[in-house]
Copies of this chain bind each other. A is one copy, B any other.
Amino acid sequence: MTIGKLVEYEDAPAEVKAVYDDIMATRKVDWINNFWKALANDPVTLRRVWEGIKTVMAPGALDPLTKEMLYVAVSVTNNCEYCINSHIAGARKAGMSDAMLHELLAVVGMANQTNALVNGYQVELDERIRKAAQGG
């Protein structure tokens, strides 16, 4: 059960309503999901996180679909059920097919496996991989 109340639009103070309005306008939806209603217990954080999400998830060098899938990858690794669902939903809305979801999850599973193998064997970084990661 959410800590604090879920702040509904009609009960929200003006500063929260303003954020809710911006969320709905930006996302072209007519409802607010529970994440924002929970954050609204702390209007300063609500605004800060929303402004951050709006900036970070906007189309840029990466398209929104890629960003949503990256969000799913992190959320699966952290086992955040709410986040997995909301960003799978977001990715689907941005065009992710079932086949893409399956491949996404296969990559995430494999990455978690090889991360553990690297940790276990304590593999030393190859100098030329380090340079290539630097863009050199």
Contact = CB atoms under 8 A, between A and B. Distances in A.
B74 A111 contact: yes
B121 A62 contact: no
Contacts of A82: 118, 123-125, 129
B123 A89 contact: no
A114 B75 CA distance: 9
A31 to B, nearest CB: 8
B81 A125 contact: yes
Interface residues of A, number: 87
If over half of A's interface residues share one DSSP class (helix, strand or loop), that class is named, otherwise mixed; here it is helix
B56 A122 contact: no
Interface string A112-130: 1111111111111110111
Contacts of A25: none
A38 B121 contact: yes
Nearest to A43: B102
Given A61-B103, A73-B73, A33 B115 contact: no
A129 B75 contact: no
